[in-house]
């Protein structure tokens, strides 16, 4: 199972500079909201896969424990990333609110 982010990175031409970077659709806050929503959806899918493989491992129906370990690690790293982005967004919001007061 390929990691989607690696596939997206390999499609970028490194010699083309900033024009080759992928962009998120929308404008302003909508783009951030769409990106965050997509990340949460991806996280839910990864956690579901991890749970399914963990159940298969416990019941003895899993052929390769390596798959379960990778799925669990992917879900953990993605959760940490989404939580970090959320924390930074909350910090930025609080800073803006302090500037207005």
69-91 average pLDDT score: 94
Sequence-separated (6 or more) residues with CB below 8 Å from residue 2: none
DSSP string across 23-55: --SSSTHHHHHHHHHHHHHHHHHHHHHHHHHHH
What pLDDT digit, counting tens, does each position of 64-75 carry? 999 999 999 999
**Whole-prediction pTM:** 0.64
Q: Is residue 4 part of a domain?
A: no
Residue 76 reports pLDDT greater than 60:
yes
Q: Is residue 37 part of a domain?
A: yes
- Its domain, for residue 94, covers 27-100
pLDDT at 57: 92
Q: Is residue 51 part of a domain?
A: yes
- Cα–Cα distance measured from residue 53 to residue 46, given in angstroms and rounded to the nearest whole number: 11
- Tokens at residue 33, please? 């909201």
What pLDDT digit, counting tens, does each position of 6-58 carry? 434 334 344 444 444 455 455 777 888 898 889 899 999 999 999 999 999 99
Q: Is residue 16 part of a domain?
A: no
Q: How many domains does the chain divide into?
A: 1
Q: Is residue 64 part of a domain?
A: yes
- Cα–Cα distance measured from residue 51 to residue 61, given in angstroms and rounded to the nearest whole number: 13
């Amino acid at each position: 199972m390929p990691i989607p982010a690696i596939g997206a990175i390999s499609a970028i031409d490194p010699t083309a500079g900033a024009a080759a970077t992928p962009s998120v659709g929308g404008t302003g806050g909508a783009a951030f909201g769409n990106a965050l929503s997509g990340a949460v959806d991806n996280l839910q899918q990864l956690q579901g896969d991890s749970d399914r493989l963990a159940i298969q491992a416990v019941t003895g129906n899993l052929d390769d424990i390596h798959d379960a370990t990778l799925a669990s690690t992917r879900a953990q790293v993605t959760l940490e990333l989404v939580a970090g982005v959320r924390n930074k967004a909350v910090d930025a919001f609080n800073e803006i609110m302090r500037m207005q007061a």
